[in-house]
Structure 1
Amino acid sequence: MRRKPKSSQLFIRWRIYMVLGSIAAVFLALVGRVAFIQVVDSKTLITQGDMRSVRTEKTQEQRGMITDRNGNELAVSVAVRAVWADPKRIAQTDSLAQTRKWKALAEALHLDPAELQQRISNPKRRFVYLKRQVNPALGHFIQELNLPGVYLKPESRRFYPAGEISAHLVGFTNIDDHGQEGVELAYDKWLTGQSGERVVRKDRLGRTIEDLSVIKQQQSGHDIHLSLDQRIQTLAYREIKREVEASGATSGSVVVIDIHTGEVLAMANSPSFNPNDRSQLQSYRYRNRAVTDAYEPGSTMKPFTVLTALEQGKANRNTIINNNPGYISISGHKVRDDEVLGNMTLTKILERSSNIGAATLAIRTGVMPLLHTYYDVGFGNVLGLGLDGETTGVIPQRRRWSDFELATIAFGYGLTVSPLQLAHAYATLGSGGINRPVSILKVDTPPEGKRVFSEKNARMVLKMLESVVSDDGTGSKAQVPGYQVAGKTGTSRKAHAGGYSDNYVALFAGVAPVTHPRLAISVVINNPQGDHYYGGQVAAPVFAKVMSGSLRYLNIPPDGNGIHLVSLDESSESNNEG
Structure 2
Amino acid sequence: MSWRKKQKKEPMMARGRFYFTCGAIVLAFVALFARAAWIQVISPDRLRLEGDLRSLRSTAVSNTSRGMIMDRNGEELAVSVPVQAVWADPKQIHAEHSLDKEQAWQALAEVLGVPRDTLLARVQDPKRRFVYLQRQVTPAVAEYIRKLRLPGVHLRPEERRFYPTGEINAHLVGMTNIDGTGIEGIERGFNDWLTASPGERKVRKDRLGRVIEDLGVVSEAREANNIELTIDQRVQALAYRSLKRAFEYHRATSASLVMLDVKTGEVIAMVNAPSFNPNNRGQYQGFRARNRAVTDTYEPGSTLKPMIVVSALENGVVNANSMVDTSPGWMRLGGKRVSDTRNLGSISVETVLKRSSNMGMVRMAMKETPAQLLDTLYRFGMGIDTGMGLVGESTGMVPQRRRWSEIEQATLSFGYGVTVTPLQLAQAYAILANGGKRYPLSIIKRSQPPIGEQVIPRHHADAVISMLESVVQPGGTATRAAIPGYRVGGKTGTSRKAIAGGYGSDYIGLFAGVAPISDPRLAMVVVINEPQGEQYYGGLVAAPVFAEVMSGALQLLNIRPDAATEEQFQLAGQEASIVPHS
Q: Which band: TM-score by shorter chain?
A: 0.7 to 0.9
Partner of 1:299: helix, strand, or coil? helix
Partner of 2:268: helix, strand, or coil? strand
How big is the shift at 1:318?
2.4
Q: Deviations over 1:501-535 (max 9, x none)?
A: 11000000010001100000000000000000000
Return the match for 2:188 from 164, 174, 185: 185
Q: Deviations over 1:11-65 (max 9, x none)?
A: xxxxxxxxxxxxxxxxxxxxxxxxxxxxxxxxxxxx99x9899983551421111
Other-structure match for 1:297: 300
| 1:66–1:465 Cα change, 3 Å | same
Return the match for 1:397 from 397, 400, 415: 400
Return the match for 2:331 from 328, 333, 339: 328
Q: Provide the identity percentage.
A: 55
Alignment of structure 1 residues 229-378 onto 2, 5 Å: 229-378=232-381
Distance, in Å, in 1 between the alignment partners of 2:79 and 2:204 is 32
Q: Does 1:441 align with 2:444?
A: yes
Return the match for 2:465 from 462, 466, 475: 462
Other-structure match for 1:164: 167
Structure 2 unaligned segments of length 5 or more: list them.
1-49, 569-582
Instruction: Kindly report the root-mean-square deviation, in angstroms, between the aligned alpha carbons of the 2 structures.
Output: 2.6
Partner of 1:467: helix, strand, or coil? helix
Structure 1 unaligned segments of length 5 or more: list them.
1-46, 566-578
Other-structure match for 2:72: 69
Contact 1:83–1:152, Cα closer than 8 Å, also in 2 = yes
Return the match for 2:544 from 541, 545, 562: 541
| 1:518–1:315 Cα change, 3 Å | same
Contact 1:59–1:198, Cα closer than 8 Å, also in 2 = no
Q: Does 1:228 align with 2:231?
A: yes
Return the match for 2:385 from 373, 377, 382: 382
Distance, in Å, in 1 between the alignment partners of 2:63 and 2:167 is 28
Other-structure match for 2:493: 490
How big is the shift at 1:207?
12
Distance, in Å, in 2 between the alignment partners of 1:438 and 1:335 is 36
Distance, in Å, in 2 between the alignment partners of 1:88 and 1:337 is 81
Distance, in Å, in 1 between the alignment partners of 2:216 and 2:98 is 34
How big is the shift at 1:404?
1.3
Distance, in Å, in 2 between the alignment partners of 1:446 and 1:471 is 39
For residue 372 of structure 2, what is the amino acid of its counterpart?
P
After TM superposition, the structure 1 stretch with the greater mean CA deviation from structure 2, 143-152 or 53-62, is: 53-62
Distance, in Å, in 2 between the alignment partners of 1:526 and 1:436 is 28
For residue 384 of structure 1, what is the amino acid of its counterpart?
G
Contact 1:260–1:446, Cα closer than 8 Å, also in 2 = no
Task: Report the number of matched residues.
Answer: 519
| 1:405–1:236 Cα change, 3 Å | same
| 1:59–1:111 Cα change, 3 Å | same
Alignment of structure 1 residues 501-540 onto 2, 5 Å: 501-540=504-543
TM-score, structure 2 normalization: 0.85
Alignment of structure 1 residues 87-98 onto 2, 5 Å: 87-98=90-101
After TM superposition, the structure 1 stretch with the greater mean CA deviation from structure 2, 230-239 or 442-451, is: 442-451
Distance, in Å, in 1 between the alignment partners of 2:205 and 2:245 is 57
Distance, in Å, in 1 between the alignment partners of 2:428 and 2:334 is 30
| 1:54–1:318 Cα change, 3 Å | closer
Distance, in Å, in 1 between the alignment partners of 2:212 and 2:390 is 45
Contact 2:487–2:518, Cα closer than 8 Å, also in 1 = yes
Return the match for 1:117 from 103, 108, 120: 120
Distance, in Å, in 2 between the alignment partners of 1:219 and 1:145 is 37
Other-structure match for 1:560: 563
For residue 515 of structure 2, what is the amino acid of its counterpart?
A
| 1:546–1:54 Cα change, 3 Å | same
Partner of 1:465: helix, strand, or coil? helix
| 1:68–1:204 Cα change, 3 Å | farther
Other-structure match for 2:41: none
TM-score, structure 1 normalization: 0.86
